[in-house]
Structure 1
Amino acid sequence: MRVVKAQYQTALLPEHRENPLIEALPAKLQDDELIEGLRFYPDCSAEEREKEAFERVEYLTRLKELRQPQLVHLDVFRAVERALKEGYSTKNPHSPTTMNYLHYSLDERPEIEPRTGFFKPRGSGITVIGESGVGKTSMLEQVLGYFPDVIVHEESSTGLLPLRQVVWLKVDCPDDSSVKGLCHRILEELDRKLGVNPTKPASTIALLISQIEAKIKSSFLGILVIDEMQNLNLAKSGGSDRLLGFLHNLVNNLGIPLLFCANPPFDELLSKSLKAARRAESGGYFDVNLLGQRNGEWELFVEELWELQWTNVVTPLTEALSNKLYELSVGNMDLAVRTFREAQQVIIGSLDERLTEEVLEKGASIAIRASKSARDELAHVKKLNLLKRKKKAKAERSEETKANSSKKAAVAAMDGKLVQIPGDLSRAHHPEFADMLTALQHADDLYEQIPDPDLIQRASEEDDPLDSLRKAGVFCEDPLKVFA
């Protein structure tokens, strides 16, 4: 647990300035600085490879410490950073609004409104969904680890401010989906972070909820992270609804941002309730998928993983070895690390410590046992997707797009880049037409640019409409030839 003394810096947004809860948060980083802070590459030296076999085996535990950020890491981090500031924006400790919020519940507050107005919650929901082993929990540890657990305020730019600010709290969802069980976990974790003696839980659910809400308020909790939310699917009838209702009340009444982390069954539960789904994705919805072999994600990961060899000879990474490890792990980072670890453990101390495809298969047979059926199912789905025939037109457009991209830059309304949004028919999606479509979209004399506005209407009344359009020169029978 990281407890730091508040160090204030001027907030970027004017509306956040002189709010010590926001100005005490770590400084906002550029993407390259953020990536540097999220990544971690364990040491692996030539000297270590020269040690005795029984010693080198011990170093294999470092493999689990490898952290290679992917694009989704940046997106989740920015969502958490945004949610923290948004939630704190209405809880300035120096504001009469916050004093009213701290002392009264929503149902019990007096009718006399503070001069700065009544408290208006600004909490949001973030959902992270992904298969087991794809790195959701380690990603959250990396993201949350950037922020201190607790910030101790003694004085701010506007005067004394003795309080402990709990920036984030992470608990696991109870297996029985009980509100009582979750409240107990939140209460225990809050006491631990605040450094106080354990609080005796109230005897009834209603009193327990009030107790939790008061504790959350006084600790200025920034974001509540709940892992293993797929446990809701195992609950008795109605349990999941009650738990989600309790959590959404924290957002609606206290303005506490929530982050749900779960395996895929959780998204099915959310889809059954529009209200729950809307609230859970209001701050961002992120799918953490298996690493893609064709988009560079797998290559980025496996190159760093392959550096961590404690064998007495270093085996260079080849395309065949990379493909074999991907085939065995189906792009699951956890399975890949375990396979690579067991493969090394098998050969360290042997006469031949080279890594081969067969050695990787042996490592997989040891590392992947209980999860083999799930791994095989994922591999089966991947192969089915590969067998699907790609449409000819789609392939041709892809090749044409690649050829055109090197010849001219994509065009947007303000000379920016072409952004393709699937389903958005209001913008250009094809680079070859982007110039003309953008010019037409923003033209002031659009009607004047149409030489014959009644052409289509007249053609529809002809016996052969296509022949009429062909003679007018607006019907293109061979677009590949014309636009080549």
Structure 2
Amino acid sequence: MSKYPAGHTVGAIYEGSSGNPYLDAMPDMLSPEQFAQAVASYPPIPYDMARMSPEERRGLLPSLASIYVPMPYQYAIYDTLYRAIATTYRTADVVESTRAINAYYCGRDTNYATQADSGSILGVPGCGKTATVHRCLSTMPQVIEHMEYQGQPCYCKQVLWLHVECPSDCSVKTLGFSIMAALDRAIGSKYLQSTQGLRSASASAIAVQTKILLTNHHVGLLVIDEIQNAVLTARKNHQEKPLLRYLVELTNETMTSIYFVGTPVAEELFVSQEHLKRRTRGIRLAPFRPDGAYLDFLNKIWPYQYTEQMAELTTSIGNKLYDCSGGIPAYIIKIFGESQAQALIQGRSYIDEKIIQRAVDLLAIKVPRTYAAGTHISDFEIGMVVPEPPLDQEEISRQYANKRGRKAAQRDDGDLLVAYNNGVGIEAHLSENGYLEADYRG
């Protein structure tokens, strides 16, 4: 059991006596079992579905989007984010926070013996990065209110995490305002409203204000989602440098851990900037393999069939779904739902491979043949260290449930390809099989 009840804002409960109220008030880390129970989402199936019309059944299909199946890779992300928050509070105490704010106001550099954590979580679109980050953060209260610590007054609001999106215009000011808005939503402040007069202020002034707010409210983790926006905008307008400089300043000069979330497109930017390489290491997600983890996922969602009859999960249907979705969870759910919709519209009793193909054609789903380097979500295991792909790892080929291409032809023992594959010399092979003629002239 967590020491805090579910909720957005909670009163501080201290465990330990480190002398740091923010660290002693940290929520407990959940076990894999507790985490799975906290994030799982399986919508109820109506008990009277047998009496429903096809239109009413189709009305139930949107509930498929709320299915969330706990998997080991999600716990790996939770563990990463939790430790990032803990690192912030092992770095920051009351004295350091005060010194940092004074330094910001005076325009001086801030230097700490230990910096906060930073990294990134990148993955193929549809693997569930954003949804997983939201659910991981939802297992912790966002705000902890302090009143008294070790017999001394200590009134403040500790913000464990903030979640914002990278601005599409790659603007430092827009990101700064987004952080202020997220902080306002968290603690009910009006920082964004109070900066209306700063709309004409320089980007550096907004950046300084943001650093002060992050430090003053003891923000443990700042998650910047859709970081690939910086890359896409940079390609068009060449404006990535000011934003990147600002992000590096945040990681260096605040005591807030920062994690970037996005697609593998962002990796191109991270590895191209020397100062970003070490600050952006982290989990890289690739889709399911056609293996037991994929089948377990299908078994969890398979009861959610709203057709008249439930189709059996055969090997053939499982392979068809994998080949059409590429093992991407969002595509699997989308195809599964649209297949049922098409079956109900056509008056079919259950889904089959033809219906699945029709759904894929209607949705115009085309999965790539290669993916950026990463760890397949099938390969995460509790109790196993997550492998990190090297920076120069090549793209991984798209896997299929069914083998593609023509079957290998049967070849005679005398075939040259057989000799080559067996490591036999060509001359010896020709001589052994009577294909080599001796010339006795002269």
TM bucket by the smaller chain? Answer: 0.7 to 0.9
Counterpart residue identity of residue 131, structure 1:
V
Cα deviation code 1:237-262 (max 9, x no counterpart): 65222212211111111121111111
Kindly report which structure 2 residues correspond to 1:266-345, keeping only aligned pairs within 5 A, or say none. Answer: 266-281=266-281, 285-294=282-291, 296-345=292-341
Q: 1:253 to 1:309 in 2, by over 3 A?
A: same
1:235 corresponding residue in structure 2: 233
Kept after mapping to 1: 8 A contact 2:117/2:258: yes
The worse-fitting range, judged by mean Cα deviation, of 157-166 and 176-185 is 157-166
Kept after mapping to 2: 8 A contact 1:5/1:153: no
1:173 corresponding residue in structure 2: 166
SS at structure 1 position matched to 2:194: coil
Q: 1:349 to 1:6 in 2, by over 3 A?
A: same
Counterpart residue identity of residue 229, structure 1:
I
1:194 paired with 2:190, answer no
2:425 corresponding residue in structure 1: none
Q: Provide the C-alpha distance between the structure 1 equivalents of 2:203 and 2:265, rounded to a whole number of angstroms.
A: 28
Shift of 1:176: 2.1
Kindly report which structure 2 residues correspond to 1:55-454, keeping only aligned pairs within 5 A, or say none. Answer: 55-93=56-94, 96-105=95-104, 108=107, 119-197=112-190, 198-201=193-196, 202=198, 203-236=201-234, 238-281=238-281, 285-294=282-291, 296-348=292-344, 351-366=347-362, 368-369=363-364, 372-373=365-366, 375=367, 378=368, 380-381=369-370
Counterpart residue identity of residue 103, structure 2:
Y
Kept after mapping to 2: 8 A contact 1:133/1:334: yes
Counterpart residue identity of residue 135, structure 1:
G
> Scaled by the length of structure 2, what TM-score is found?
0.76
Counterpart residue identity of residue 287, structure 1:
R
Shift of 1:419: 9.5
1:28 corresponding residue in structure 2: 29
Counterpart residue identity of residue 100, structure 2:
Y
Kept after mapping to 2: 8 A contact 1:129/1:287: yes
SS at structure 2 position matched to 1:123: coil
SS at structure 1 position matched to 2:48: helix
Q: Provide the C-alpha distance between the structure 2 equivalents of 1:108 and 1:177, rounded to a whole number of angstroms.
A: 25
Q: Provide the C-alpha distance between the structure 2 equivalents of 1:21 and 1:49, rounded to a whole number of angstroms.
A: 54
Kept after mapping to 2: 8 A contact 1:3/1:152: no
Q: Provide the C-alpha distance between the structure 2 equivalents of 1:249 and 1:100, rounded to a whole number of angstroms.
A: 17
Q: 1:49 to 1:257 in 2, by over 3 A?
A: farther
Counterpart residue identity of residue 54, structure 2:
A
Q: Provide the C-alpha distance between the structure 2 equivalents of 1:92 and 1:57, rounded to a whole number of angstroms.
A: 55
Q: Provide the C-alpha distance between the structure 2 equivalents of 1:244 and 1:145, rounded to a whole number of angstroms.
A: 28
Counterpart residue identity of residue 230, structure 2:
L
Kept after mapping to 1: 8 A contact 2:215/2:255: no
2:414 corresponding residue in structure 1: none
Shift of 1:51: 2.2
Q: Provide the C-alpha distance between the structure 1 equivalents of 2:58 and 2:388, rounded to a whole number of angstroms.
A: 49
Q: Provide the C-alpha distance between the structure 1 equivalents of 2:106 and 2:113, rounded to a whole number of angstroms.
A: 14
SS at structure 2 position matched to 1:299: helix
2:376 corresponding residue in structure 1: none
Relative contact order, CA 8 A, sep 6+: which one is greater? 2
Q: Provide the C-alpha distance between the structure 2 equivalents of 1:381 and 1:419, rounded to a whole number of angstroms.
A: 25
Counterpart residue identity of residue 286, structure 1:
I
Shift of 1:207: 1.5
1:398 corresponding residue in structure 2: none
Q: 1:214 to 1:49 in 2, by over 3 A?
A: farther
Q: 1:50 to 1:92 in 2, by over 3 A?
A: farther
Counterpart residue identity of residue 42, structure 2:
Y
Shift of 1:45: 4.2
Q: Provide the C-alpha distance between the structure 1 equivalents of 2:227 and 2:74, rounded to a whole number of angstroms.
A: 20
Q: Provide the C-alpha distance between the structure 2 equivalents of 1:69 and 1:340, rounded to a whole number of angstroms.
A: 19
Shift of 1:83: 0.8
> Scaled by the length of structure 1, what TM-score is found?
0.70
Q: 1:121 to 1:213 in 2, by over 3 A?
A: farther
SS at structure 2 position matched to 1:87: helix
Q: Provide the C-alpha distance between the structure 2 equivalents of 1:418 and 1:182, rounded to a whole number of angstroms.
A: 36
Q: 1:327 to 1:421 in 2, by over 3 A?
A: closer
Calculate percent identity across the aligned residue pairs.
23
SS at structure 2 position matched to 1:331: coil
Q: 1:10 to 1:321 in 2, by over 3 A?
A: same
Kept after mapping to 2: 8 A contact 1:50/1:312: no
Counterpart residue identity of residue 242, structure 1:
P
2:400 corresponding residue in structure 1: none
Q: 1:345 to 1:5 in 2, by over 3 A?
A: same
SS at structure 2 position matched to 1:88: helix
Q: 1:421 to 1:105 in 2, by over 3 A?
A: closer
Q: 1:212 to 1:422 in 2, by over 3 A?
A: closer
Unaligned runs of 5+ in 2: 1-5, 372-382, 390-442
Q: 1:121 to 1:107 in 2, by over 3 A?
A: farther
Counterpart residue identity of residue 300, structure 1:
D
Kept after mapping to 2: 8 A contact 1:100/1:119: no
Counterpart residue identity of residue 284, structure 2:
D
Counterpart residue identity of residue 233, structure 1:
V
Q: 1:177 to 1:68 in 2, by over 3 A?
A: same
Q: Provide the C-alpha distance between the structure 1 equivalents of 2:232 and 2:386, rounded to a whole number of angstroms.
A: 40
Kept after mapping to 2: 8 A contact 1:2/1:150: no
